[in-house]
Chains A and B, each alone.
Chain A
Amino acid sequence: MSDQDHPERDDRVLAGEYALGLLPAEEAAAFEARLREEPDLRALYAAWAEDLAGMTDGIAPVTPPDSVLAGIESRLFKPARPPRYRGLWLAGLAGAAAAVAAVVLVAMLLPGVLDPGPAAPEDPPLVADVAAEDRSLVVRAAYDGTDHTLFVEREAGAAPPGRALELWLIAGDGAPVSLGVLPEQRQAKLPVGPQMREDLAGGVLAISEEPPGGSPTGAPTGEVLATGQITNT
């Protein structure tokens, strides 16, 4: 069907609008219902999807930081019993107030609903004291080899107003690689990707101040506020 005066009645146009995400939700749902029933419409949609995807050909690939894959894998393949809960039990919190125990119990039953927050690893193989020279910013870091995360605890200092603190790993003469932006909470666990794990031993951690959300370029852009050598325990 072709109708120059009423292009909205042409399935070729409708398929294009759907592929571009221009249809309101109701019309998009109606189109999807038709897609399931009509092979010709599926072919029209596929033709648009292929052609439009061609617009990304000129976009340069950018290697994402290791933390992305680590984050995906921890979301998809997380262990049945996350280590942080075990850590809480072994830390002796079971003997604390009944209310706390109840929260932990609920948290175990409903992972992700109530998160008691990260706990320090019990026996970290690698640690670092990332500090400013005047100790105005001190972040303690400990690597947890069981779930490949870096536990960080901010003991002193904070991000300058309107800025974020980003943690970097520097291995040898290599360029700094982001381990992630430190959250406002004092404690956090940052995933460490497979490629970065090997670089931790003997590496240096550094904290720079960056725009909210972290460096837009993938390299430190702000002032380096603190550094610390990673050491074996």
Chain B
Amino acid sequence: MDAQDDIEDLIARVAIADRAAFRLLYARTSAKLFGVVLRVLDDRAEAEDALQDIYVKIWANADRYRVNGLSPMTWLITIARNHAVDCRRRRPAREAGDPEEAAAVPDGAPGPEFEAMRGADRARLAACFGELEPGHAEAVRRVYLEGETYADLAARFDVPLNTMRTWLRRSLLRLRECLSR
């Protein structure tokens, strides 16, 4: 049984309220998700609270895991990322995307299990980001990992909101076409 099946099996058991499986799932995945949440929030206490909320959601929604057809790690990462972004966007308007603050969070090496799981996909993703116009890959990255909105990006690129929206949509289309090749 590989890591993915293992996590899938644990989610299935959590769906039937298996507490031991929930603890195992937490043991296997919490460091990855905490890393993601810390990256998005860059605030330890806030990230700890967010991680609690995330695992409460995972417990509550495990029975609906199959609905969207995501792989188990993607499902977990998506819940974590979306929740962390919601928290970040709810903050009072401070430090709206300070580049130095973002740079202050180290991006260390991924765990070997994720490296092995996604090695090929990762290279493909990097190659497709590389095909985007300068700045646009960074814009997508900021939206995903820092929760920036079209308004944030428009301010950063110093263009009207509609222009920013059109640009990014074009880049998303290019990205999708490249990733689907």
| B10 close to chain A: CB less than 8 A | no
| A27 close to chain B: CB less than 8 A | no
Residues of A within 8 A of B69 (CB): 42-43, 46
A interface bracket (residues with beta carbon within 8 Å of B): 35 or more
Do A56 and B68 touch (CB < 8 A)? Answer: no
Which among A21, A42, A45 has the greatest number of chain B C-beta atoms within 10 A?
A: A21
Residues of B within 8 A of A58 (CB): 107-110
Number of A-B contacts (CB under 8 A): 157
Do B70 and A13 touch (CB < 8 A)? Answer: no
Do A213 and B108 touch (CB < 8 A)? Answer: no
Shortest CB distance A144–B (Å): 20
CB contacts under 8 Å to A, within B16-57, are: 19, 22-23, 26, 30-32, 34-36, 38-39, 43-46, 48, 51-52, 55-56
6 examples of A-B residue contacts, CB within 8 angstroms = A7-B166, A8-B169, A21-B85, A21-B143, A49-B68, A56-B77
Which are the 4 A-B pairs with shortest beta-carbon distances?
Answer: A60-B108, A213-B45, A61-B31, A7-B169
Residue numbers of B with Cβ under 8 A of A are 19, 22-23, 26, 30-32, 34-36, 38-39, 43-46, 48, 51-52, 55-56, 59, 68-71, 73-74, 77-78, 81-82, 85, 106-111, 114-115, 118, 121-122, 125, 140-141, 143-145, 147, 149-150, 165-166, 168-170, 172-173, 175-177, 179-180
